[in-house]
Amino acid sequence: MRFVYFLLLFLLFSCTTKEKRLKIEAPKGWEVMGTPVSSSLRGLSPLTEKIIWASGSKGTWLRTLDGGQSWDHGVIAGLDSVDFRDIEGFDASTAVAMSSGQPAVIYRTEDGGRTWYEVFRGSEADFFDGMAFYKNNGYVIGDEVGGKWRILVSKDYGKSWGVLETSPKAESGSGSFAASGSGIIATEDQIWFASGGRKSSVFNSTDAGITWKEYSTPIIQGESSQGIFSLTIVDDNILVAVGGDFLNPELSDRNAVISLHNGRAWSLITGNFPTGYRSSVAYFPLHHWLISVGPNGSDFCSNSGMDWAKFSNEGFHAVVLDKSFGSIWASGPNGKIGRLVY
């Protein structure tokens, strides 16, 4: 029995030592992929480490099935003047892409991008900022129209869309930011989206959009270029938002806020802020890191959003965790796509 006892202690010590040895303290940087396009890519949807969809300016769409070694690409429905600022991939064949400005449209493909068909066309007043899906339920957030936030809803993986009649009220001229498509997030019953500019708040619905509440935040705000640009979920209680001032990309002041109450109360982080304006943030549960990106580089945080450090000067627009939770991807200007290296 004594032998068994010491054997168990030895195995436990060995496993603990191995875990400590394997712990990675910080990301190393980005592996930047060569792509066949020069568009600005703000839409990004990695499904696995191999299958990634992206979209952007000049009507561009891209897809890789081999982790970025090769890319299929084209122009969505010939719309080469349209900026598709968000995309959601469902599998290797199926994706939905959203444009922001005029025309404000949503297109869908079911054959790997070879053909795209229109599933929604907005009015001349519409400007769409971002899109979020939870399983078959999809939501699009758009700037204020007629005194209400323009929110679209799909219940069938983006095949059809309708305007949410219970959208919350909005002051004239209110808007969100279409920098990375991540100003809106959703779970089974909850939706969160952020406003920016003169007033930067977080709106939350706990019943799939039927009722809404607005929560103020202390992030930098007051000018049209300031506020929250991106939201992410760390766990059932913690949400983190990043942003800043896109006209002052080096400003590292009040550009990250945290909620410890599931988005219903917000405070400034207590440590170092991200090192400039940040347009997107994602949580990487494998290493318990938050990754944020912006034009002047990339930061990470290993303590749930409270303290940030720069790990790369590589600039991107969007950063997204793949749906298998195994890799982090980023997209940016001039057709740039990268995978996090650690």
pLDDT in tens, 137-162: 999 999 999 999 999 999 999 999 99
pLDDT tens digit sequence for 294-323: 999 999 999 999 999 999 999 999 999 999
Collapsing DSSP to helix, strand or coil, 313 comes out as: coil
For residue range 250-273, list pLDDT tens digits in order: 999 999 999 999 999 999 999 999
Which is nearest to 86 in space by CA: 74, 97, 102, 73?
97
Does 324 score more than 50 pLDDT? yes
Residue 23: the pLDDT is 82
3 falls within a domain = no
Residue 7 lies in a domain: no
Peptide bond into 36 cis (omega under 30): no
Cβ pair 203, 231 in contact under 8 A:
no
Query: Containing domain of residue 50, as a range?
Result: 26-341
Residue 20 banded pLDDT, cuts 50, 70, 90:
very low
Give me the pLDDT at residue 22, please.
66
User: Collapsing DSSP states into helix, strand and coil, what is residue 304?
Assistant: coil
Cα separations in angstroms, 259 against 35, 44, 182, 254: 37, 25, 17, 14
The C-alpha angle with vertex 243 and arms to 237 and 248, in degrees rounded to 5, equals 165
Residue 12 lies in a domain: no
Per 3-state DSSP, the chain is made up of helix, strand and coil in percentages (nearest 5) of 5, 40, 50
pLDDT tens profile 267-293? 999 999 999 999 999 999 999 999 999
- The separation between CA 93 and the C-alpha centre of its own chain, rounded to angstroms, equals 21
The pLDDT assigned to 21 comes to 42
What does the CA dihedral 218, 128, 184, 173 come to, rounded to 10 degrees?
30
Residue 200, in any domain of the structure = yes
Does the pLDDT at position 26 exceed 70? yes
Model confidence, pTM? 0.93
The reported pLDDT for the residue numbered 303 is 93
Phi, psi of 21, deg, nearest 5: -70, -30
CA distance 58 to 62: 12
Could you count the other beta carbons within 10 Å of the beta carbon of residue 251?
18
Q: How many domains does the chain have?
A: 1
14, part of any domain: no
- 237 found inside a domain: yes
Q: Which amino acid is at 86?
A: D
CATH number at residue 332: 2.130.10.10
Provide, rounded to the nearest whole percent, the portion of the chain with pLDDT above 70: 94
> Is residue 79 in a domain?
yes
Please report whether residue 255 resides in a domain. Answer: yes
DSSP 333: S
Dump pLDDT digits (tens) for 191-204: 999 999 999 999 99
Whether cis (ω within 30° of 0) applies to the bond prior to 103 is yes
| Closest of 273, 205, 197 to residue 242, by C-alpha | 273
